Structure 1
Amino acid sequence: MDQVGIMEQKNLAIITYGCQMNEYDSEMVAGVLQAQGGYRLIDDLEQAQVILLNTCSIREKAEQKVFSELGRLKQLKHKNPDLIIGVGGCIAQREGYRIMERSPQVDLVFGTRNIKLLPQLLAEVINKKAKIVNTEPLLEDINPTYIERKGKVKAWISIMQGCNNFCAYCVVPYTRGPQQSRPSWQIEQEVKDLAQQGFKEITLLGQNVNSYGQDLNGEIDFPDLLALLNQVEGIERIRFVTSHPKDFSERLIKAMAELPKVCESIHLPVQSGSNYIMERMNRKYRIEDYVDKVEQLRTRLPQAGITSDIIVGFPGEREEDFCQTEELIRTIEYDNIFLFKYSARPETPAASFPGQVNENIKQERFNRILSLQKSITFEKNQSLEGSVQEILVEGGSKKNPERLTGRTRNNKIVNVDGSDSLIGKKVMIKIVRAKLYSLEGQLLN
């Protein structure tokens, strides 16, 4: 009690980098520190007494952003020596003490799986004026106790931690550990709690949601989990990310087609269109199998929105491999892609592969894919002009808060004029104009 008392009324700011999993983790950080530590979450770094960075190490650029921010925070700490700076997430898990060697202004380093320890770790930093590094995972329980949700309409839910795939370019198995699925009853209870709080949409999170349950002795798999959550009253939409193509099954396609709350939208990272590169990446599937699964999905769900990840410039990527990626994009016609230049990550096999691609070639290939995908995305959006779509209104538009924004079931962003009373409601709108990454809609009575 004394430790909690000392920390009462301290202002907490959290800076989040990276994926949706990190967004969810930051909600857990905020929740546990407000509930057990007496902290108050604020946005103004100048007024914060504790600043925590939840980091991402999936690419070098993400790491550079973190250490640039730590440089700026060093100036804040110079003005306020009592400021506590903490670093968590994937960089913290991988680098540990090296973060403090590089950035001595950091007081606390915590890992990806010990967020529940934060109240006592921060209390120790404050009470003992100590610098602490603790990245030991709490493997016995990944069920979140307290979560401070950012919105009121849609919510993230982590259904698992870690990954067993060991793709040659990826640090996740090293920073988040082996796959660990949450028991289905815990997930179901969290979804029921969200429904009681008025949330309408959930997004299930995992490095590979399709392999959910493989470590639970066959008790349940991902399609079964979707069927279970589809029965929760009050929840109107269910989404999920990310899916690994090797585990994307006919049963999952069937569940997507038959469960009314599961949205017709999937993120299915392919990474490359070349089987040679696929093998080097250790992706464990062939392009022919990937295309076949997409065709099966579109046969059952012709309106499905499909997005993907593409990496250009992976070690050994030849021009012919790159051209195969371009051809795959033309064949699939993704709604959108997340495009990356290959970035060598410490401890990953690909970092030491021969055939590292020149940066200029990476950039040239990046530009070619970007141009190709932009034309496809805009053309697909234009095809929706004049159509009537259902959207779930999420809140004010980021670019113009006076307007409302929502998403179609297949994950198209739609901006529309309307009153705030529509937030959290499903409404029918007519698409009046297509833009590159969003649609303009008109509310129908």
Structure 2
Amino acid sequence: MTSNHTPPKFTTLGCRLNAYETEAMKDLAKQAGVDNAVIINTCAVTQEAVRKARQEIRRLRRENPDAKVIVTGCAAQIDPDSFAAMEEVDTVIGNTEKMSPETWNGLGPNFIGESEPVQVNDIMSVTETAGHLIDGFGTRSRAYVQVQNGCDHRCTFCIIPYGRGNSRSVPAGVVVDQIKRLVQQGYNEVVLTGVDLTSWGGDLPGEPRLGDLVMRILRLTDVPRLRISSIDSIEADDNLMLAIASEPRLMPHLHLSLQHGDDLILKRMKRRHLRDDAIQFCEDARKLRPEITFGADIIAGFPTETDAHFENSLKLVDDCDLTWLHVFPYSVREGTPAAKIPNKVNGKLIKERAAKLRAAGDSRVQSHLAAQLGKTHQVLMESATMGRTEQFTEVQFEAAQPVGQIVRATITGTRGTQLLA
């Protein structure tokens, strides 16, 4: 295999945390002089995600026959041997190894024939996570900052803790320094990311909470807009609720890890909240911040789910006044407790229920869009003609705007899932 002296190519599959880690890997690979390589950062949240990862690996090998193919991410961490067995793959590295300079130094200019085919640790033994200082990524408007990794909870359907390990937090000072650096680079919005974001601080001295981190960021930095990604609403602390109520720089948009709307299914999922808890949280947050919008993850077709159970999920969309739905048809993940539960739901029925949930979500989006007509929003421009409101709604502009800037705009219409200005 010969080097073409070409920079490495990165492909990211899955969550925002993966996207953040890809940017860190780009820096590590550049510093190590990695050349003529293709790196695929995989996802394992569903069987479909794993299938797409394998499909992407094969495609990238066909397009880059002389490159070294390196596979990492959650799917690689959970099942490294199966990826190493693919003829298209040269090296498999774990989720901890991919963030290590030593790993990338070993894949540098002299890597040919010298790197181990599988470099994957015991993720459950990892007790720390590092906050990598990067200059941001994606558009020149929004950047993501990892504040937490792993998860201590074991929802019966979820394979991700086996790919990410136990919960561990990035110290607040490191997070603040990262955000200050991003603000200096010109970013107007920062999104806090993690696997189980509301568990941040539980492993740090004094056991601070996510709300403490949010208040500290807003106190010590000049970041114009701070956004939180997915949270477990049952773990929302007093300071987080205070920030929602009193901090205009904290965006009025939360994505909730709800998963279901029926108490019996929630118990079988080993979730820590009940239906009424979710509804109460949304009511409380809306009283504090009337303009807040909610997204949510909901699973359709969990084992033993009856029509009545499903109807409770469907009704939850209205009861919580959800706007942005991420609907997941239940996917069996071998190695999880749910995989052993009998009374699996028929695959066709799962698809039908998922379609009903998505239709309910589409209806909620249209209601939200209609309610914005005539309102004025502060829109963060992601491209010359498209930006997002404080509630993360897309806005399409007729005239070009400065990319990366926050512009004031009055909503004049809607088109599809977008607002017009």
TM-score range, shorter chain: over 0.9
Amino acid at match of 2:404: G
- Distance across 2 between alignment mates of 1:196 and 1:416: 27
Report what 1:400 is aligned to: none
Matched, 1:16 2:34: no
- Distance across 2 between alignment mates of 1:256 and 1:375: 26
Amino acid at match of 2:348: N
SS in 2 for 1:128: coil
Contact preservation (8 Å) 1:273, 1:326? yes
Report what 1:280 is aligned to: 268
Specify which of 63, 71, 77 is matched with residue 87 of structure 1: 71
Report what 1:401 is aligned to: none
Matched, 1:50 2:42: no
Query: 1:339: how far off?
Result: 0.7
Specify which of 113, 120, 136 is matched with residue 96 of structure 2: 113
Query: 1:146: how far off?
Result: 5.0
Amino acid at match of 2:410: K
Contact preservation (8 Å) 1:89, 1:111? yes
Give deviations 1:404-440, integer Å, cap 9, x for gaps. 21111121111113345x2222221111112342211
Matched, 1:239 2:227: yes
Report what 2:394 is aligned to: 413
Matched, 1:122 2:107: yes
Report what 1:60 is aligned to: 47
Contact preservation (8 Å) 1:414, 1:440? yes
- Distance across 2 between alignment mates of 1:350 and 1:125: 45
- Distance across 2 between alignment mates of 1:15 and 1:148: 17
Contact preservation (8 Å) 1:394, 1:424? yes
Matched, 1:25 2:21: yes
Report what 1:43 is aligned to: none
Q: Which moved more, 1:66-75 or 1:105-114?
A: 66-75
- Distance across 2 between alignment mates of 1:266 and 1:146: 25
Change (3 A) 1:230 1:282: same
Contact preservation (8 Å) 2:155, 2:269? yes
Query: 1:344: how far off?
Result: 0.7
Change (3 A) 1:132 1:222: same
Normalising by structure 1, we get a TM-score of 0.88
- Distance across 2 between alignment mates of 1:408 and 1:148: 20
Amino acid at match of 2:310: F
- Distance across 1 between alignment mates of 2:377 and 2:302: 39
Change (3 A) 1:147 1:176: farther
Q: How do 1:366-405 and structure 2 match up within 5 A?
A: 366-396=354-384, 404-405=385-386
Change (3 A) 1:109 1:263: same
- Distance across 2 between alignment mates of 1:257 and 1:75: 52
Report what 1:96 is aligned to: 80
Contact preservation (8 Å) 1:312, 1:366? yes
- Distance across 1 between alignment mates of 2:136 and 2:364: 38
Amino acid at match of 1:65: K
Identity of aligned residues (%): 26
Contact preservation (8 Å) 2:198, 2:235? yes
SS in 1 for 2:335: coil
Contact preservation (8 Å) 2:140, 2:187? yes
Change (3 A) 1:145 1:7: farther
Q: Which runs of 5+ in 1 are unaligned?
A: 1-5, 40-48, 397-403
- Distance across 1 between alignment mates of 2:206 and 2:302: 36
Query: 1:145: how far off?
Result: 5.0
Amino acid at match of 1:119: W
SS in 1 for 2:70: strand
Report what 1:151 is aligned to: 139
SS in 2 for 1:334: coil
Name the count of aligned residue pairs: 415
SS in 1 for 2:382: strand
Change (3 A) 1:382 1:141: closer
Report what 2:30 is aligned to: 34
Amino acid at match of 1:424: G
Contact preservation (8 Å) 1:392, 1:407? yes
SS in 2 for 1:192: helix
